[in-house]
Amino acid sequence: MTPPEQALARALPLPVSGLPAPPRVPRPERYTLANGLRVVAARQAGLPQIVIRLVLPAGSAADPTGGAGTAALVGQLLTEGTAQLTAEELNARLDLLGASVEVDVGHDFAEVELFLLSETLDEALPLLADLVVRPAFPATEVERVRDELLDSLAARLDESANVADDRTAAEVFGADHPYGRPALGTPDSVAELSVSALQAFHHAYYRPEGSLLVAAGDLNPRALAEQLERVLHDWRGAPEAPLTSRDAEAMASGAETIILPWKGALQSEIRIAGRGLPRNSADWIPAALANYILGGSTITGRLGANLREEKGWTYGARSSFVAALGAGGWVAETAVDVEVRDEALREMHREIRRILDEPVGDAELRRAKDALILSLPRAFETPRRVVSRFVTLEAFGLPDEYWSRFPAAVEAVTAEEVMLMARRYLDPARLVSVLVG
C-alpha cells in the first residue's frame, strides 16, 4: 500500500457491523385442487429448473401392526414400474427429459421429489402422476427390491452407529411406538410382506386429501395449477388414519445407561437421548437455540468444544432435536476411542448439567443467535431449498410468515429462556445413555 493509500485508509472510518439483512422469503401462491390436494408454488427465476415435492401421510407411523417396513418398501417400489410403463421405460423417459425422482420415507411422511428442467414440465408431470397414483408393484420387482432391503437391514447390524441409533430410539419411545422402531422395518417383518399388503397400503395412504405438493423454480404458479388439475383429475380420496399414535405416553427408560458389547471395537458409539417436542411447538425456536449452544455445531457447540477441540477425543460431537408431528426425540451423539468412553460420557453429562444450571453468557448467546439468523438466507438460494422450507411450514402447520419472522423470534430469546428450555427438555432424569462398543 502506497503512502497516499495508507493516509486514506487512516482517514476513512472503520466499518461498523449492523443488523443482518432479513431473508428474502418468496411469497408463494397457495391453492387446493379439485381433488383436495394442497399446493404451494413459488416462482424463483434465474435458473431453468423446477423442483416439485409431494408429501403424503404415508410414513412408517402408518405401517400396519406386524407389517413394519411396509411404508418403506412401497416407497422404494414407486419407481419400479407403473400401469403404463415398466421400470426401464419410466427411467428412460426421465433420463431423456433430464429429470430425476427421489423417494424418501420417514416416520411421519413419504416424500416424492421430482427435479426437472422447466422446459420439460409438460412431459415430466404425467410421469410423476403415473408413478405416485398408478404403481404396478410387479411381482419380480417386489422380490428384487425386498431382497435389497433385507440386505440393507442386515448390513445395518454390522455398523455400531446404526445399532446405537436403533437401540436409542427403542429406549426413548418404546419399541411399539412408531418413533421407536426403524422406519425400514425389521428383517422378519419385511420378509413377510406380500404384494397384496403393499397394494393395500398404497390404496389406503397415497391419497390427495391430507397430502401436500410444493413446487419452486422457473414456473408459473397458475399455469402449474392447470397442469396439475389435468394430470391428477382421476386421483381422489382421503387417507386412512394411522393405526398408531405419535404421542408417547412415557419413556421406556430414563436416567439409565445401556451398554451393548461390540467384539473387537476400537471405538465406542455414545448416545444420550430423550423425548423432544413437536415441530410446531411454541418452544421450538428457544429450544433450538439452547440445543445449538450445547451441540448444534460440532466445533463451537459446548460438546464439540470440550470433546473435540479441548480433549481431542473425537472428530465430532453434536446434538439435535428431531422435527416430527409428535414429540420427536432429542439426541447427543459422538464416537470415541474405547479407552476414554466413560470419561467422554461423564463430560457430555457435565455439559448438559451446566446448561441447565448456569446462565448462558451474552457473547455465547450472541454467537448462537447469529449462527441461526445468518444461515437463513442460504436456505432460500435454490429451488430445492425453497421447497424444503415451505414443506416444513405446510407439513407441520406453521404460520405462513414463520420464516420472515424467524430472525426476530430468535433475537427475542433470553438467557433465562435458554435455561428454561434446557430444564424442560434436557433434564438428566429423563435421558437415557446408550453405549455400543
Domain boundaries, the chain: 29-231, 257-436
Sheet with 49-56, side-by-side order of all strands = 29-32, 38-43, 212-217, 49-56, 110-117, 100-105
Q: Residue 14's pLDDT band (boundaries 50, 70, 90)? A: low
pLDDT beyond 70 at 249: no
Question: Distance from CA of residue 435 to its chain's centroid?
Answer: 24
How many other C-beta atoms can be found within 10 angstroms of the C-beta atom of residue 316?
16
At the topology level, CATH places domain 257-436 in Cytochrome Bc1 Complex; Chain A, domain 1 (3.30.830)
Annotate 243-256 with b (16+ C-beta within 10 A) or e (fewer): ebebebeebbbbee
Residue with cell 421400470: 87
Annotate 212-233 with b (16+ C-beta within 10 A) or e (fewer): bbbbbbbbebeebbebbeebbe
Longest Cα–Cα distance of the chain, Å, equals 83
Q: How many helices (H) and strands (E) does the chain have?
A: 16, 11
Let me know the angle formed at the C-alpha of 218 by 212 and 221, rounded to the nearest 5 degrees. 45
Model pLDDT for residues 368-416, shown as the tens digit of each residue: 999 999 999 999 999 999 999 999 999 999 999 999 999 999 999 999 9
- The pTM score is 0.91
17/27: higher pLDDT? 27
Report which of 58, 394, 371, 358 is spatially closest to residue 214, judged by C-alpha positions.
394
Q: What is the DSSP letter of 310?
A: I
Mean pLDDT across the stretch 65-69? 94
Residue with cell 445395518: 156
Residue with cell 404458479: 221
Residue type, 190: V
At the topology level, CATH places domain 29-231 in Cytochrome Bc1 Complex; Chain A, domain 1 (3.30.830)
pLDDT given for residue 245 in this prediction: 61
Q: What is the DSSP letter of 36?
A: S
Question: Distance from CA of residue 154 to its chain's centroid?
Answer: 24
Mean pLDDT across the stretch 78-92? 96
For residues 44 and 25, what is the distance between their CA atoms, to the nearest angstrom? Answer: 11
Domains 29-231 and 257-436 share a fold: yes
Give the 3-state secondary structure of 359-395.
CCCHHHHHHHHHHHHHCCHHHHCCHHHHHHHHHHHHH
Measured between alpha carbons, how far is residue 160 from residues 68, 71, 260, 289, 436 in Å? 22, 25, 9, 30, 6
pLDDT given for residue 341 in this prediction: 96
Residues, the chain: 437
Model pLDDT for residues 168-219, shown as the tens digit of each residue: 999 999 988 999 999 999 999 999 999 999 999 999 999 999 999 999 999 9
Q: Residue 2's pLDDT band (boundaries 50, 70, 90)? A: confident
pLDDT beyond 90 at 5: no
Half-sphere exposure of 163 (CA within 13 A, CB side): 17
Q: Cα torsion for 39, 409, 428, 327, to the nearest 10°? A: -20
Measured between alpha carbons, how far is residue 316 from residues 306, 307, 310, 352 in Å? 10, 8, 12, 16
Model pLDDT for residues 282-314, shown as the tens digit of each residue: 999 999 999 999 999 988 899 999 999 999 999
pLDDT given for residue 34 in this prediction: 97
